[in-house]
Amino acid sequence: DIQMTQSPSSLSASVGDRVTITCRASQNIGDFLNWYQQNPGKAPKLLIYAASSFQSGVPSRFSGSGSGTDFTLTISSLQPEDSATYYCQQSYSTPRTFGQGTKLEIK
Amino acid sequence: QVQLQESGPGLVKPSQTLSLTCTVSGGSINSDTYYWNWIRQRPGEGLEWIGYIYYSGSTFYNPSLKGRITISLDTSKNQFSLRLTSVSAADTAVYYCARENLVEVTAVSYLDYWGQGTLVTVSS
């Protein structure tokens, strides 16, 4: 199985801050990497697919980058509604695997 | 607009079988463009992929669930289903169904539509 490791596990930032979340794969997965946002009690929502492609309707302050084993989700200017847990997921092979999640709080 | 909706019992006794159905509306399940997934989330934990089924009936399951899973398709009802046998308290979770969109040219895929999730509690 491909292991996905996110860092940090949690972070606290202020409105307007630039926030970066990192995801590392245990082997080369090319650009088969997706990012999701999950609010409490809700289903995850797709933000970024194929490492850097924007899902329709997602605010432009969200962006993704990386390839191979190292990937990044960036929020350019943090908004209050961005408080959530963020997950990376690889779709390179089965079993599909997710990172453990990064809980983002607003100061 | 595509919508997915999980249904099934919210309480299952230990050692029994958990059965859930996902009804898809706004699009056909009988398409070579999608995988139909089950994913679960234990209370306070992260996301765990259970498995998926293709329109042809091909399935891929998470080996960690050790042969307890069956995912099936009913194209006449536009539904797919999950059966998980010999459940224990460790199977208590919110269960999500989700559509995995396959981009033919690049082979990338992503989970673009999710059900709202249904909590299944395993308890006597």
| A-B C-beta contacts closer than 8 Å | 60
- With CA atoms as reference, the chain A residue closest to B35 would be A91
Flag whether pLDDT at B66 surpasses 80. Answer: no
Judge whether A36 is closer than 8 Å to chain B, CB to CB. yes
Residues in chain A: 107
**Interatomic CA distance for residues A21 and B105, integer angstroms:** 29
Judge whether B74 is closer than 8 Å to chain A, CB to CB. no
Q: Quick one: which of A38, A43, A101 has its CA closest to B118?
A: A43
First-last CA distance in chain A? 36
CA distance B16 to chain A (A): 25
The residues near B56 (Cβ < 8 Å, ≥ 6 apart) are: B32
pLDDT in tens, A7-21: 999 999 999 999 999
Judge whether A52 is closer than 8 Å to chain B, CB to CB. no
Band of residue B71 on the pLDDT scale cut at 50, 70, 90: very high
Report pLDDT for B105.
84
Angle at B38 between CA B35 and CA B40, to 5 degrees: 150
Judge whether A61 is closer than 8 Å to chain B, CB to CB. no
CA distance B112 to chain A (A): 6
CA distance B46 to chain A (A): 6
Band of residue B106 on the pLDDT scale cut at 50, 70, 90: confident
